[in-house]
Amino acid sequence: MGLKTTRPDEINEKINKLYGFINKKELEKAKDLLRQIRNKIGEDPELVSFCSYKTTGDSWEMKYVLKGLEPLEFSKWKGNENENWKPEYSSMGSKLKNIIKISLIKEQGFLCCYCQRRLYLNDSHIEHFNPQCKKEVDPLDYSNMLCSCQNQLESGEPRHCGNLKGDWYDSKLLVSPFNKDCENQFEFYGNGEIAPFGFENTAAETTIEKLGLNIQNLLIYVKKQLNLFRRKS
């Protein structure tokens, strides 16, 4: 479906028409159209940021993360292991952690692995999907790493995503961004709420609860982004 204009007011109008879709197939069509909108608006950072939230963030839809190779700097650092020194996550400097975090952020399209909020280097953290506190987990295993939002919490701000998940993990009850089918485990509503898709989807229900994907501040954040865009356009 082609778009004839890139004017912000017309983009806003199209988005509002699509915003209330709750049917799964209609939602997929809507997101395809919104991706076309993003392509049409080019590199305008404000519009790109807004349309990113409208395509995924407003629904807080978990997206499949295709893992790539770990950063070369990370491999070299681990390769320095010798009889007198063993690489540990706790001894990793901030510079190397930022290199890893940047790599993760790029893998995820600059969006949180769980809620799809825009990620920023200074307000995100490396998330070990299977918690590193477990004896069987290698804290330096890049294939187990994701990047989650929320690093700098304001007083009273409720935790969500990796911050709320903490050391909880259950392979049968936690929907994984590493699973290609993760996007089909949830359904979404026009007000930004998320719900399990299908009947008795215990894993999706538990994931929503454990990650706090329906907490009020996430829904408020969506509405705030929409209002900011409307004022600027």
Domain-embedded: residue 38: no
| Domain-embedded: residue 126 | yes
Q: Which structural domain, as residue segments, surrounds residue 184?
A: 56-232
Any domain includes 50: no
**Tens digits of residue pLDDT in 196-215:** 998 889 999 999 999 998 88
Query: What would the pLDDT profile of 92-126 be if each residue is shown by its tens digit?
Result: 999 999 999 999 999 999 999 998 888 999 999 99
Q: Does the pLDDT at position 71 exceed 50?
A: yes
Q: What are phi and psi of 13, to 5 degrees?
A: -65, -45
The reply to whether 12 falls in a domain is no
Identify which of 132, 125, 184, 170 has the alpha carbon closest to the alpha carbon of residue 152: 125
pLDDT(191) > 60: yes
Task: Name the residue with higher pLDDT: 130 or 39.
Answer: 130
Q: What is the pLDDT of residue 119?
A: 92
For 202, counting Cβ atoms within 10 Å of its Cβ (0-12 exposed, 13-18 middle, 19+ buried), the class is exposed
Share the mean pLDDT of the chain.
79
Query: Residue 208 burial by CB count (10 A; 0-12/13-18/19+): exposed, middle or buried?
Result: buried
User: Is residue 182, in this structure, part of any structural domain at all?
Assistant: yes
pLDDT at site 170: 96
Number of compact structural domains in the chain: 1
Spatial distance between the Cα atoms of 87 and 130, rounded to a whole number of angstroms: 19
Task: Give domain status of residue 20, yes or no.
Answer: no
